[in-house]
A and B are shown apart, each in its own frame.
Chain A
Amino acid sequence: MSQTVAAPSAPARTRSDSETRLAGMLVSFEEPGPLMGAAARMKEAGYTRWDVHTPYPIHGLDTAMGVRPTILPWIVFVAGLTGALSGIFLQYWTNATDARNFTFLPTNLQGYDYLISGKPFYSFPANIPVIFELTVLFSALAAVFGMLALNGLPTFHRSLFRSRAFQRVTDDHFFVSVDASDPIFDESTTGGLLAELGGSDVMRVEEPVVQPGMPRWLMAAGVIFACVTLIPLVVIAKARVSKSTEPRIHIWQDMDNQPRYKGQMQNAAFADERAMRPTVVGTVARGDLDALGTDRHRLEGLVDDQWATVFPESLRVTSAFMERGRRQFGIFCAPCHGLDGRGNGAVPARNPDGGREGWAGWVQPTSLHDQSVRDRAVGHLFNSITNGIRTMPPYRDQIEPDDRWAIVAYIRALQKASQADWNEVPAAARQELERRSGKRGND
């Protein structure tokens, strides 16, 4: 053991900066030829903290030194496997899981199974490229950073770097080095062994006992830099907890703010400079009919604030009117209620089970032959069409009032037809029905 290493306990300040200790020994070679033999001798001598340094890798030298095969390939294998599994999981989770099953997770971690061209949510063949790329990415990162970690790099400070001669290791010289911390290191015997290896020069590697610390200015700059980098974070944190009347900073407009007139703004184009225009004389705004006290029977189905039980006087229920009702019913009502009004139209036929479980958006269309519907006054039915009922939307904007009454008339006819007595069927229609179905005629 080196004697200088034995007394490190003295206060560092009192030591002179020029005082050095032996950190290790080096022997240089100008040719790689003797290295194999040198490595074998060092290994035989039982050294553990020693190394051969070369400008380029020399194959076989690692074996001669007794370097065991690195475990790096296994690290890479595990990383590659992790990459592949991550690729599978990422794609399955984000594209094929139903967020409704994971409501306990924050929204930004939920998946979203959106349908693309009717393709399956999870499609392994389409996921292979990303799985492959992630496998390669993870493996490559593991190979590089695993290699650096196993080699203990980066290590910027080494006592060997204090030797000027050693700088040629990255040029054209070869070295064998022994660290002073090796258990069997001894200056004279180790030096003797190194001299016998066939090298040209045996050198001592000295290092100062007092290692120079980081320069003050560098440390100050580092602290200042670290503080400055925190400023944006502090600003963001403050913005998150404080309120402001200013609109938020809007860097990318994305056509969010467009030149247009909003309520209460001035517009010089009009004489009164009001951007909001008053109603044109002679027109009625939506919803104002009631206020104007017009024909409430015809337009709202109300007589003395009660549902009207008869059709408005302005309408005459003729066969042409019924035919009109049949056509409008076929256009607007039959898709859900069905052509016969039993609530089995084309739309519910596509949802035979009434939609998904637990989904409140679906209600089976009412059968118009239910007793509750039969009992309703015609004004009430008119109101249901006009303003909608339950999930049925209002149709006042799509069907003219008189046509709505025509539909009501047709619904009444459907209701009558479903419970009509055989004797009530007109004779001509009775013959037609008998022709179509022999059985019915025997009743």
Chain B
Amino acid sequence: MATIPLEIDNTQDDPRHRAPLVTGDHDLGTLTETVSRVAEAPRAPLAWYVAFTISAGLTIMLGGLIGYLIMTGVGVWGVNNPVAWGFAIINFVFWVGIGHAGTLISAILFLFRQHWRTGINRFAEAMTIFAVICAGMFPGIHVGRAWLAYWMFPLPNQMAMWPQFRSPLLWDVFAVGTYFTVSLLFWYVGLIPDLATFRDRAKTRVKQIVYGIFALGWNGSMRHWHRYERAYLILAALATPLVLSVHSVVSFDFAVAQLPGWHTTIFPPYFVAGAIFSGFGMVVTLAVPARELFGLKHIITMRHLDNMNKIILATGSIVGYAYSIEFFIAWYGAIPEERFAFISRAFGPYAWAYWIMFSCNAFVPQLFWFRKIRTSIPAMFIISLLVNVGMWFERYVIVVTSLSSDFLPSSWGPYVPTWVDAAMLVGSFGLFFTFFLLFCRYLPMVAMAEVKAVMPHTLKRSAHGDGHAGGAA
């Protein structure tokens, strides 16, 4: 068996050798052991308990604030007339965007046969699901009378009142609902073989039963794998256009309105690029501490991080281009309101937010042109945090600047968030990390079955003719 030292630099592309996707001297058994150990350890690392306590506390705070909001009314937020969207919609778009990287990794990179995706796809998909849960919460409580949120769905009722299907807000309901369902299915289908691994390794009866129920009786049958792989491919092919559609539809919420600064055709591609950008920022933010904490450095290697940083660089540049072309079109379009909207974005009362957005999203990722920075753990961690700060401010700039000053100066008004707004944003991070930490502790963080198929010695063996009945001794 070829020995691959841990210290190998697999970020170099040498055409004579395929760079290994898993470093260290791993075979199938040690890989299973490394991944399963995280969930099987009787005690999690201390950092996990600290993080979980904080996150769970913030989640409880979020629950309390939602109760306060519903009992009191949306007046506890800073929303007003004209800025009726505020933090809730900013957070919604932010969290939906975060989710996109997970689907991109699991679906689009799968279709492109990017084998390095296998190391990170599981927790990126988990991130997608938890981010979409955070996202879906905000419109639900933003509707004012949250107990009537079910009116968003086409349910038969005695009033014969149906949703208005010509509205982008309703398309959102279908797009986000479908996105969540498909992401969950995709994630779960991928989990089935790994849950079976946990079931077969379980030391206690309870674990065996619980993992056993969710593993559905998986036994690695090749006849099952055959249909499983076909289903996985179909899901990837479905999720690819879906992920592009979801943020396009989210962008329609803005682009279909006639407000200056919103009514532009560049929004769908620009939103999708921004979503992938922010999502990869979040994946790096999560992957860097997770691989340290749970000893997954051989599986989530420097090459994985390097590749993700390259995607951040590419999508960040697309986003920077979109910011610039928006300005150009505002000038070229010669519509006074449009010109005003963009000048006031960059130099008006919200200029501070605009320049945070512009520098974090367009300038900072340019540092990734340097290989030293792409492969530096502290640098990429800080940049990934800045990317998410920048992307949150992008949504802030879009929502607040356009709403606060539209066509009619007499209806202009400033937006000032309240402490409830800020605490709910923080609380949504608490909810996200609570889910994520539970996932790290109790579910396979790495898609073991998929990684096994792309391990160096597996690939090598399948390259040397299969089918020779060589004795395994």
Q: Assuming the A-B contacts A126-B165, A143-B238, are A34 and B222 also in contact, with contact meaning beta carbons closer than 8 angstroms in the complex?
A: no
Task: Check if A270 is an interface residue, CB within 8 A of chain B.
Answer: no
Most interface-central of A95, A137, A254 (chain B CB within 10 A): A137
Which single member of A67, A94, A156 contacts B223 (CB below 8 Å)?
A67
CB distance from A317 to the nearest CB of B (A): 50
Q: Tell me whether A161 and B154 are in contact (CB under 8 A).
A: no
Q: Please determine whether B166 and A144 come into contact, CB atoms closer than 8 angstroms.
A: no
Q: A72-B234, A130-B174 are in contact. Are A37 and B468 (CB under 8 A)?
A: yes
Number of A residues, CB within 8 Å of B? 88
Taking a contact as CB atoms closer than 8 A, the residue among B171, B199, B468 that contacts A33 in the complex is: B468
Say yes or no for B2: interface residue by CB 8 A criterion. no
Residues 127-153 of B at the A interface (beta carbon under 8 Å): 145, 147
Q: With A67-B222, A126-B166 in contact, is A197–B469 under 8 Å at CB?
A: yes
By beta carbon, the residue of chain B nearest A137 is: B178
Assess A140 versus B238: contact at CB under 8 Å? Given A170-B196, A200-B473. Answer: yes
User: Nearest-CB distance from A38 to chain B (Å)?
Assistant: 7
Question: Does residue B182 face the partner (Cβ distance < 8 Å to A)?
Answer: yes
In the bound complex, do residue A108 and residue B160 qualify as a contact, i.e. CB atoms below 8 Å apart?
Answer: yes
- A144-B28 in contact given A57-B225, A108-B158, A170-B220 (Cβ < 8 Å): no
Residues of A within 8 A of B449 (CB): 55-57
**A153 close to B216 (CB less than 8 A):** yes
B242 sits at the interface (CB 8 A): yes
Q: Is B470 in contact with chain A by the CB < 8 A criterion?
A: yes
Check if A95 sits within 8 Å of B162, measured CB to CB.
yes
**Does A320 belong to the interface (CB within 8 Å)?**
no
Main secondary structure of the interface of B (DSSP, over half): helix
In the assembled complex, B201 has its CB within 8 A of some CB on chain A: yes
Residues in B with CB closer than 8 Å to A415 are none
In the complex the two chains form, is B467's CB within 8 Å of A36's CB? yes
Asked if residues B238 and A139 are in contact (CB atoms below 8 Å), the reply is: yes
In the bound complex, CA of A198 to CA of B467 (Å) = 11
- With a CB–CB cut-off of 8 A, which chain B residues contact A108? 156-158, 160
Structural contact, B234 and A76, CB atoms closer than 8 A? yes
Inter-chain contact A171/B472, CB cutoff 8 Å:
no
Interface: B27 (CB within 8 A) = yes
Verify B222–A53 contact, CB threshold 8 A.
yes
Interface membership of B337, Cβ < 8 A: no
Q: Is the CB of B230 within 8 A of A147?
A: yes
Contact with B along A380-410 (1 / 0, CB 8 A): 0000000000000000000000000000000
Pick the contact of A40 from B163, B219, B467 — CB < 8 Å?
B467
A99: chain B residues within 8 A (beta carbon): 160
Give Cα distance in the complex from A29 to B471, angstroms: 9
Q: Does A356 contact B (CB under 8 A)?
A: no
A180–B249 Cα distance when bound, in Å, is: 55
Contact with B along A200-238 (1 / 0, CB 8 A): 100000000000000000000000000000000000000
Please name all residues of chain A whose beta carbon is closer than 8 Å to the beta carbon of B238 when the two chains form the complex: 136, 139-140, 143
Q: Does B226 contact A (CB under 8 A)?
A: yes
- Taking the nearest CB of chain B, how far is it from the CB of A24, in angstroms? 12
**CB 8 Å contact bits of A345-358 with B (1 = contact, 0 = none):** 00000000000000
Would you call A137 and B472 a contact (CB within 8 A)? no
A31 close to chain B: CB less than 8 A = yes
Q: Name A136's contact: one of B163, B182, B199, B231 (CB within 8 Å).
A: B182
A47 contacts B by Cβ under 8 Å: no
**Is A325 an interface residue when CB atoms closer than 8 A count as contact?**
no
A34-B32 in contact (CB<8A): no
Pair A147/B228 contact, Cβ less than 8 Å:
yes
Given A56-B449, A108-B160, 9 additional A-B pairs, CB 8 A: A36-B467, A54-B220, A56-B452, A57-B222, A62-B225, A95-B164, A108-B158, A109-B156, A126-B166
A-B pairs, 9 with minimum CB distance: A36-B467, A172-B28, A147-B231, A94-B162, A37-B469, A154-B216, A108-B156, A167-B200, A172-B29
A residues sitting closer than 8 Å to B (CB atoms) are 29-40, 51-62, 64-65, 67, 70, 72-73, 76, 90-91, 94-95, 99, 107-112, 114, 116, 119, 123, 126-127, 129-130, 132-134, 136-137, 139-141, 143-144, 146-148, 150-151, 153-158, 160-161, 166-172, 175, 197-200, 251-252, 254
Cross-chain pairs A/B with CB under 8 angstroms, 19 sampled:
A32-B461, A33-B472, A38-B469, A39-B222, A40-B467, A54-B222, A56-B449, A65-B222, A70-B226, A72-B234, A107-B159, A114-B164, A136-B178, A140-B181, A140-B235, A144-B231, A146-B231, A153-B216, A171-B28
